Structure 1
Amino acid sequence: MRRFLLFAFSLLLVLSISFQSIAQGIRVQYPKTVKVNHTDTYFGTTITDSYRWLEKDDSPETAKWVEEQNKVTFEYLEKIPYRQKVKERLEKVFNYPKYSSPFRRGDNYIFFKNDGLQNQSVAYIQKGLEGKAEVLLDPNTFSTDGTSRLGAFSISKDGKYLAYGISQGGSDWQTYYVMEIASKKVLPETIEWVKVSGLSWQAGGFYYSRYDAPEKGKELSSKNENHKVYYHKVGTEQSQDELIYQDKDNPQRFHFAATTEDEKFLVLSISDRGKGKRGDALFFRDLSKGEKGFTPIIAEVGDDSFDLIDNVGDKFLIETNRNAPNNKVILFDPKNPDEKNWKEILPEREQPLNSVSSAGGKLFATYLKDVTSRVSVYDLTGKLENEVELPAIGTVGGFGGDREDKFVFYTFTSFTFAPTIYRYDIATKKTTLFRAPEIDFKATDYETKQVFYPSKDGTKVPMFIVHKKGLKLDGNNPVLLYGYGGFSVNLLPGFNPLLIPIFEQGGVYAVANLRGGNEYGEKWHEGGRKLNKQNVFDDFISASEYLIKEKYTSSEKLAIQGGSNGGLLVGAVMNQRPDLFKVAIPQVGVMDMLRFQKFTIGWNWIPEYGSSEQDEANFKNLYAYSPLHNLKETKYPATLVTTADHDDRVVPAHSFKYAATLQEKHQGTNPVLIRVNVKSGHGASSTSKRIEETADIYSFIFYNLGVTPSY
């Protein structure tokens, strides 16, 4: 029962705060942050929210606060003598061509390429694999500063049209456009206010999902509700789009529509995460018969997930975790819909099924074994045909294609293995190298180790540790520990050239595969969800203690980093163990666990976190670890909070309020700063912004760990 009482916002100024600290010889004078009288009551507990006014992202007062905070932060960063050299080194190691795997439409192949430092990757098209590649779409032309990004990208089955989305400044909002591929002419129609949407073609048009236009000035913060599915016919205005589905009685539901490869069926997926449900319902419409209604596959939203792979005739291949926490694939027959008639095609295995795709009449199933990929090939009846031999231990992605494809592509990567594209021939079951990376990187100079350390409750947690060969375990190495631990997200081995400058300075990079992810299936996720969330923090703290115990580092040489849910992680553990870390980098974090559901699509996270309004047990659990509400008067690590003005997924108010409170409570000399990126979102909106932010983060880490890099 909801017992959340909102009190009137007091405009009375009760206090202005100003603090200063001195770190490594750089004096920091923090801006004054106004405190106001505002309290909320949850289940009889009164909570003070002195910086509530910072939630108003469009107010002049908030804009001034951001300007003053950035001034202090960038003045500090500018005094770090090697900051520019770090940036130059990052640009150099990042400056090499990067390709995506190609995919086919008719006789043409399409792929993406970034020459090295282009702000956005460019889409190319060529006839056959040996044809001359021509630019199909260059997102670098979307804006003069390179901060407008390509979102959705889908080519019609006949290869005649390309529909694509553009997001401005890093926002999750997209505007869709249509291009005639032969002439490369962009048609006049635009589709606005698209968010959390697919793009599926059928009969000269496509299905997509959108919200109504938000209140002017509140586009980046107002709650998103009433998700609708539309059909857009090419050559018409958006006002003429056909409404396919809406549910006014359940405003916090997501609705996705997708067509099968043969465009015979439209499949509607519905989730109800605003009510805390993890799964989805599934319906279909037979377009070949002109049906207008939907027939249920799964009629009610629950906690089990159901994802369409494709149809086999009039039946559907579906991936699900129903009675299978590691996932399985079933065949659903609409003529015999009862669950007892479902046919298991790929039964659940000991290893979690990470992904499954179909191409060339086969199913390609990628499983995880101790956080690394294994690929099995099956026919459509579930008969195992072979395992795909991978070049090393690491992560694989791809294997998508059409039914008539004779071969598919996949990309393989690991921490010291730059993404490499391979071609897999379906008939011969042979893999050949298709495109190797053109990068000056000697993998043999580095080593990757996977360890399993005990968490607080004895659970064995995997962690990857990467560094240059010859590392001395003397407790004096700078270490950057990264974590996430939530939403079933797996942190798999992958190459990041921006880590090279860390390794070059004798640094160690560690990735802890915390509970809350899906590295070991739904049970692993469940172990770090809702009332079990403290396990995630215990796992991360234990990872830090392991690195110190094994003499990789010490508390004075340990930096921690995480973004989004990982930003929450960093904020929580530096509250619980401020003595354990020297530097903390919480990025775009969910810091106010009592109010996250109030903004944009924050209600979408209720199945993961619970809600302060749900019941007293969930409120107490969230209040116990909420980074904002557990800051106390003590010494904190050197902290650089990062967020962005166009982050409409985790709104910057989380970081604003957290940084203001941290500056108020912090008793030590370590700097506690906030860096607010402009025209960027939940992730960097361009290559240049990514490198600039990374350079500032590394400079901050080096400086506060006492490392003077030499390049």
Structure 2
Amino acid sequence: MRFFSLSLAALLALVACSTTPAVAPASAPGVAAAPAPSGPVPPVARRVPHPVTLHGDTRQDDYFWLREKENPEVRAYLEAEAAYTAAVMKPTEALQRKLYEEMLGRIQQTDLSVPYRKGGSLYYSRTEEGKQYPILCRKKGTLEAPEEVMLDLNVLAEGQKFLSLSEREVSDDGHLLAYSVDTTGFRQFTLQVKDLRTGKTGVERMEKVTSVVWAADNRTLFYVTEDAAKRPFKLWRHTLGTPSSEDVLVYEEKDERFTLGVQRSRSGEYLIASSDSSTTSEVRVWPARNPTAALTVVAPREQDHEYSVDHHGEQFYILTNSGGRNFRVVTAPVKSPGRANWKELIPHREAVLLQGLSLFKNHLMLYEFEAGLPHLSITDLKTRASHRISFPELVYVVYPEMNEEWDTKLLRIAYQSPVTPPSIYDYDMVSRGRKLLKQTPVLGGYDASRYQTERVMAEAKDGVKVPVNLVYRKGLKKDGSAPLLLMGYGAYGFPAFLGFNSNDVSLLERGVVLATAQIRGGSDLGKAWHDGGRMRNKMNTFTDFIASAEGLIAQGYTSKERLAIEGGSAGGLLMGAVMNLRPDLFKVVMAHVPFVDVLNTMSDASLPLTVGEFEEWGNPQVKEDYDYMRRYCPYTNVAARDYPTLLVKTSFNDSQVMYWEPAKWVAKLRALKTDKNPLLFQINMNAGHGGASGRYDRLKEVAFDQAFLLTQLGVAQ
């Protein structure tokens, strides 16, 4: 048995989680006794009345005190929950080990990514068996050249419980690497510069950096820092060899709805600073060869006008939603890029969402969405002839990969489907031929022909058709007997993909059907699909998901007794909302870092993301928004009723959904729910929004989740 450090209160809770009837002792702060029969005893958080009044409506937030991160009672309660979860899950430890070994056995642990060319060098990453993190490398000229290790993340992670790499930008001359890392999980990244010739890291150390880019002089670095609410808002210019205290503030974004980012055009000729809210954009540009030049605004911000900019020759190419919600492409002269000079290149289309564009010397690539599927379209900039790249499968994921070369006819793309492992291709934009460079190996005899993908439509309560993508082992009997895991997200305009994950094979081989619902709130079917599931249309997200579940049951894919659902972050909000709306519909719910305390969080402008998301969820200070959000806020609407079996997961250092949201939700559920179904709360005390950072640690987390799912669905082993 492996031991880990616990506080006295958590150790006492472990005793209470033994098979001997017991109650948590009175000396355990913040944890009250819960009468129970023999078996693990769930902790019960103490209730401290905390009324919250807004618009004349008073809500009781009895678990507000769990926000006190430094309070020993809070840690004691969280550790007691962890101890209870461990005790309940102890009988599944053998299954967890088996699942972990299965998943690990499918991975080629010592592996190499497909190298990409940039500035005369070939860049790639590799992994080594037994090491948690990748190693970033390059070779100059050809693959036969000696390997140069740029950054070994395993070395950076020594002595750390968490490590995440964000930015990694190499200067034009290839001598310098700017990189940023986070060692807490709070997504607060520190920027440093490494001289790749000497292997030494410079004196630069910029804190709270969110984006970074080199100017063309190989000595000027532009970077953006965040404020106390984690909003990227200040653009700085740093000159190598000078102290960071002398860095020049180039631009400050003062509107709290907007975030700021910096990048470089694909041509390399321009630096681009973008200010974006959920609905509005403003872009500034200046020459990469003249880093001290004044910034030029392409088009002043106008409410509900979104646009982005890239550069080619004497023109800027602009993706804009002026003239249509799904965007169109216009060009503008570099010398006078204002809207008065925009000329349409590609018109708006009602059925096609233009999600992004990439420019090459002779070609334009558009990333599009139509009918819930992604597409890549190529336009020859000389002839204006266009074509779409075709793909053979019914359900798939495709996106542009690392394309760092400007003068090339080859487009590097990444492709996968629920049954096809991630595959890297070079696509010839002239001949239209493609070459498979690598398909991620899946060890252990994986056979894609054993599985079936399918796309079905569910009818929402207002008659709208909602796509649902599925994958399952062939031979499925559509008699309602199969266990099914339905996943969803439905927010921010993010599309919902059902791609390949070798870990899923463990579920598929045990007969579990996997499904993803493309519900409103995402942009799968265009920006109107996003609009249909945000602000005062948010209820559509939840009713679409419920309709998807009911549709799968009606078509015989599963039954209520064998249906599990899963979502994370905003998808965790989805889980909480549909649990309140239809607790009878689901057998098992898995909620990861769930955004469930919507009203309280969106009322606190000091928290990360809050102000910027008023245009996604609404502003509770506006009574109409408050009344609407109150209808679906999961924490607010917990009531004395039966709920499904529930696993809630979070991390102590999460900066996007604070740990106290799921903690309060679990505490309130424990106090009010009337069923005897398991309610487990697992918190990673050393991670952030994405969970564990090491690849082996992540596999253990997945094995835990799958063991819970399979056990609760009664899937025979």
Give the aligned residue type for 1:704: Q
Give the aligned residue type for 1:53: W
Distance of aligned partners of 1:199 and 1:27 in 2 relative to their CA distance in 1, 3 Å threshold = farther
Tell me what 1:199 maps to.
213
Tell me what 1:586 maps to.
591
Among 81, 89, 106, the residue aligned to 1:77: 89
Using the aligned pairs only, state the percent identity. 29
Distance of aligned partners of 1:408 and 1:102 in 2 relative to their CA distance in 1, 3 Å threshold = farther
Deviations along 1:119-145, whole A, 9 cap, x unmatched? 223222123453355432221221235
Give the aligned residue type for 2:400: G
Distance of aligned partners of 1:522 and 1:584 in 2 relative to their CA distance in 1, 3 Å threshold = same
Cα distance in structure 1, aligned partners of 2:483 and 2:184: 34
Among 685, 703, 709, the residue aligned to 2:711: 703
Cα distance in structure 1, aligned partners of 2:199 and 2:390: 40
Report deviation, 1:427: 4.3
Residue 692 in 1 paired to residue 700 in 2?
Answer: yes
Tell me what 2:623 maps to.
616
Worse overlay, 228-237 or 374-383: 374-383
Residue 433 in 1 paired to residue 436 in 2?
Answer: yes
Residue 66 in 1 paired to residue 78 in 2?
Answer: yes
Tell me what 2:669 maps to.
662
Cα distance in structure 2, aligned partners of 1:605 and 1:60: 32
Cα distance in structure 2, aligned partners of 1:488 and 1:58: 35
SS of the equivalent of 1:50 reads coil
Worse overlay, 381-390 or 636-645: 381-390
Worse overlay, 277-286 or 56-65: 277-286
Tell me what 1:266 maps to.
271
Worse overlay, 33-42 or 238-247: 238-247
Structure with higher RCO (Cα < 8 A, 6+ apart): 1
Distance of aligned partners of 1:85 and 1:194 in 2 relative to their CA distance in 1, 3 Å threshold = same
Tell me what 1:319 maps to.
319
Worse overlay, 666-675 or 685-694: 685-694
Cα distance in structure 1, aligned partners of 2:689 and 2:80: 22
Query: Superposed, which structure 2 residues align to 1:533-682 within 5 Å?
Result: 533-597=538-602, 598=604, 599-613=607-621, 615-682=622-689
Cα distance in structure 2, aligned partners of 1:618 and 1:531: 7
CA contact (8 A) 1:297 1:334 kept: no
Distance of aligned partners of 1:340 and 1:253 in 2 relative to their CA distance in 1, 3 Å threshold = closer
Query: Superposed, which structure 2 residues align to 1:53-452 within 5 Å?
Result: 53-80=65-92, 82-96=95-109, 100-115=113-128, 118-128=131-141, 130-132=143-145, 133-144=147-158, 147-195=162-210, 197-203=211-217, 204-211=219-226, 223-224=229-230, 227-248=233-254, 250-261=255-266, 263-271=268-276, 273=277, 278-286=279-287, 292-308=293-309, 310-333=310-333, 335-349=335-349, 350-380=351-381, 383-390=384-391, 392-393=393-394, 394-398=396-400, 400-440=403-443, 441-452=446-457
TM-score w.r.t. the length of structure 1 is: 0.90
Tell me what 1:517 maps to.
522
Give the aligned residue type for 2:234: K
TM-score w.r.t. the length of structure 2 is: 0.89
CA contact (8 A) 1:365 1:376 kept: yes
Report deviation, 1:608: 0.9
Cα distance in structure 2, aligned partners of 1:535 and 1:129: 53
Distance of aligned partners of 1:531 and 1:17 in 2 relative to their CA distance in 1, 3 Å threshold = farther
Give the aligned residue type for 1:224: K
Report deviation, 1:687: 1.4
Cα distance in structure 2, aligned partners of 1:134 and 1:149: 21
Tell me what 1:8 maps to.
none
Tell me what 2:469 maps to.
464
Give the aligned residue type for 2:675: G
CA contact (8 A) 1:463 1:510 kept: yes
Deviations along 1:643-695, whole A, 9 cap, x unmatched? 00121111111111111111111111111121001221111322123212211
Cα distance in structure 2, aligned partners of 1:472 and 1:491: 26
Deviations along 1:240-299, whole A, 9 cap, x unmatched? 222111145x3453222333345543322123x4xxx52211222346567643332221
Among 512, 530, 541, the residue aligned to 2:535: 530
SS of the equivalent of 1:647 reads coil
Give the aligned residue type for 1:105: K
Residue 31 in 1 paired to residue 72 in 2?
Answer: no
Distance of aligned partners of 1:326 and 1:247 in 2 relative to their CA distance in 1, 3 Å threshold = closer
Cα distance in structure 2, aligned partners of 1:548 and 1:321: 39
Report deviation, 1:100: 4.5
Deviations along 1:135-193, whole A, 9 cap, x unmatched? 32221221235621211111112222111111113221101121222333322322112
CA contact (8 A) 1:645 1:652 kept: yes
Cα distance in structure 2, aligned partners of 1:678 and 1:382: 57
Give the aligned residue type for 1:278: T
CA contact (8 A) 1:96 1:439 kept: no
Report deviation, 1:53: 0.8
Question: Structure 2, unaligned stretches of length 5 or more?
Answer: 1-28
Cα distance in structure 1, aligned partners of 2:367 and 2:528: 18
Report deviation, 1:301: 4.7
Distance of aligned partners of 1:36 and 1:331 in 2 relative to their CA distance in 1, 3 Å threshold = same
Distance of aligned partners of 1:15 and 1:336 in 2 relative to their CA distance in 1, 3 Å threshold = closer
Give the aligned residue type for 2:425: Y
Cα distance in structure 1, aligned partners of 2:129 and 2:290: 49
Deviations along 1:60-106, whole A, 9 cap, x unmatched? 22111111111111111112252322222222234456655533222
Cα distance in structure 2, aligned partners of 1:374 and 1:105: 26
Report deviation, 1:448: 0.3
SS of the equivalent of 1:646 reads coil
Cα distance in structure 2, aligned partners of 1:206 and 1:456: 53
Report deviation, 1:505: 0.6
Report deviation, 1:697: 1.2
Cα distance in structure 2, aligned partners of 1:661 and 1:528: 27
Worse overlay, 595-604 or 324-333: 595-604
* RMSD value, Cα: 2.4
Cα distance in structure 2, aligned partners of 1:289 and 1:161: 19
Cα distance in structure 1, aligned partners of 2:565 and 2:516: 10
Cα distance in structure 1, aligned partners of 2:703 and 2:242: 46
Report deviation, 1:371: 2.5
Report deviation, 1:326: 1.9
CA contact (8 A) 1:560 1:583 kept: yes
Give the aligned residue type for 1:332: A
Tell me what 1:498 maps to.
503
Deviations along 1:409-450, whole A, 9 cap, x unmatched? 211111111011111234433211112322232111101001
SS of the equivalent of 1:243 reads strand
CA contact (8 A) 1:401 1:408 kept: no
